[in-house]
Structure 1
Amino acid sequence: MLYETIGTTTCEWAGKPYAEIQAIGDSDGSVLAIPVGSIEQHGHHLPVSTDTLLVDAVTHGGADRIADEIPILVTPPVWSGYSPHHLSLGGTLSLDFEQLQAILEDLAYTGIENGFDAVIFVNGHGGNMPLIDTVVSTVGCRTDVEVLGGTYFQFAIDKIDDLRESQTGGMAHGGEFETSLMLYLRSDLVADPSEYDAELWDEPYEWGGSDLLEGGPLSVYRPFEAYSESGAIGAPEYANKEKGEQIYHVITNELAALFTAIHEENV
């Protein structure tokens, strides 16, 4: 795993010998979780690995909560996402849509070969959302297992909204939400608050998204500098470690409930 605070987990695919992986996969109602992140700029105060670090951490955290109750494993994270809208600011590594689609499909198919009854893609990057939906369909229609996908920061929105201090637009790319989680999980990678240079999300179409927690029905493509000179959108000045810990526990509890429901549906 790519983070240090939580440490090695009992659900780590990469830390097990193959026979143990197959035994878990062959268990009734087994669940395979695949975290999908990105390597992209997050302003001046967060590392380019933010999305991958966070989705890896919450996926393992959710799985570990119920590891003694259901057969579940978490693969190593897919660290590169679909991020063409960040490329012009530098520091970003992106795959083409079709390339990443093929990678995720192959990971799912080969994971399924180990006997798993369900596969869930846990996404950590907004630009991956339509791609995850596509892969759920392409893999789902070609296999007998249940295939699911979702973006972790869209789970438990009401509970997270109760924790926020910023106005709408403050929990966006490198804002209050992600900076708080990073302060809890990898504070060593978060720059001094003097580097917190971000702008509130200002989408000109009222039907467009305005926050990580308030996505709109309209999709629109814009390079990221159209929203922010620094590349960060939101209000990181409201971030703190204690809030990050609260957000972490809210999300991992919700993921644990989801993983348990998937297991029970596939027993």
Structure 2
Amino acid sequence: MGDQLTHPSSWFSKTAEEIREIGDADGSILLVPIGSVEQHGTHLPVGTDTLLASAVAMRGASLVSDLPVVVVPPIWSGYSPHHLHFGGTLTLSFETALAAVTDIVSSALENGFDSVLLVNGHGGNGPLVGAAVSEIGAAHPDVEATGITYFSLAEPFVDDVRDSDAGGMAHGGEFETSLMLHCYPELVREDGRSEATPLDEPYEHGDDDLIEPGPLSVYRPFEAYSSSGSIGDPDLATAEKGRELFDRLGVELESILRAVAEHVRTE
């Protein structure tokens, strides 16, 4: 939350007049982190997805300080009914989550922004973000509406960083744990890492990894995959890997932001 209060691009840190000035600027972008509050095993906090989505959004904004960009406070609850068994999870219904995202974005767009980019941090929010982009775009035809799940940005370079095999970067695995060790090391419980379960997806076309989702959508409560709530190889996570992942994710997000700004300026 500290970055949300002090970051130069934070909505929280600005006056209403400053937000309107940025929104009215040519090529302005509204950046919206969307996370969840859900269990992440015994070694990561329930706010992991929200914390990381917000951190990556702020990193991207830092790299485009020359552009008119504002990052709104993270939408911290998403769609996570499959995690309820383990406790600690705060979920919305799909309909309520979609309404929350679209209402928040619609009110923010009243400040004149040319575009909005939703930055999602939870795999279960994927369909939600896709639906929100369509709803926002239909309701605001003059606004460029886009969305991304931040960890999908790692696909081109993740093999340069990882030590785990496919499945090791699943829920609470090497990827998320490394990022948390870099961004929020004080929140990682070292004694819980070894309790993660290897990913065992029975369908060949199901998910191989957090970074490599399969084409087949499957619903199961999370306890069907893991007795601890985490999947993958968090024991292989390091702060050094987290720093490299974080920096390279920022560069990928920067590329998207610059492309969006250029596009809306030429429209």
TM range (shorter): over 0.9
Q: Which amino acid aligns with 2:101?
A: L
- How far, CA to CA, are the matches of 1:161 and 1:85 in structure 2? 29
Q: Does 1:75 align with 2:72?
A: yes
Equivalent in 99, 102, 107 of residue 105 of structure 1? 102
Instruction: Show the counterpart of 1:203.
Output: 201
Asked if structure 2 preserves the Cα contact closer than 8 Å seen for 1:208 and 1:220, the reply is: yes
Give structure 1 stretches of 5+ with no counterpart. none
CA distance in 2, matches of 1:96, 1:246: 35
Q: Secondary structure of 1:158's partner?
A: coil
Moved over 4 A (4+): none
Match of 1:183 in 2: 181
Please give the alpha-carbon distance, in whole angstroms, between the structure 1 residues aligned to 2:190 and 2:220: 29
How big is the shift at 1:195?
4.2
SS at match of 1:122: strand
1:39 and 2:9 aligned: no
Find the counterpart in structure 2 of residue 120 from structure 1.
117
Gaps of 5+ in 2: none
From 226, 229, 234, the counterpart of 1:228: 226
Matched-pair contact (CA < 8 Å) for 2:173–2:232? yes
CA deviation string 1:91-119 (max 9, x = no partner): 10000000010011111111111000001
The alpha carbon displacement at 1:200 in A equals 1.6
1:53 is matched with which residue?
51
Instruction: Give the conservation status (yes or no) of the 8 Å contact 1:3–1:185.
Output: no
- Give the secondary-structure state (helix, strand or coil) at the position aligned to 1:121: strand
TM value normalised by structure 2: 0.96
TM-score by structure 1 length? 0.96
Shift of 1:162: 1.5
* SS of equivalent to 1:34: strand
Deviation per CA, 1:32-61, whole angstroms, max 9, x where unpaired? Answer: 000000000000000000000001001001
Contact 1:44 1:195 in 2 (8 A): yes
The alignment status of 1:166 with 2:152, answered yes or no, reads no
Q: Equivalent pairs: percent with the same residue?
A: 52
**Residue aligning to 2:150:** 152
CA contact (8 A) 2:24 2:111 kept: yes
Shift of 1:223: 0.4
Aligned AA (2:42) = H
Q: How many residues align?
A: 264
Is residue 92 of structure 2 the alignment partner of residue 95 of structure 1?
yes
Deviations 1:169-198 (A, max 9, x none): 000100000000000011111002454311
Number of the residue aligned with 1:133: 130
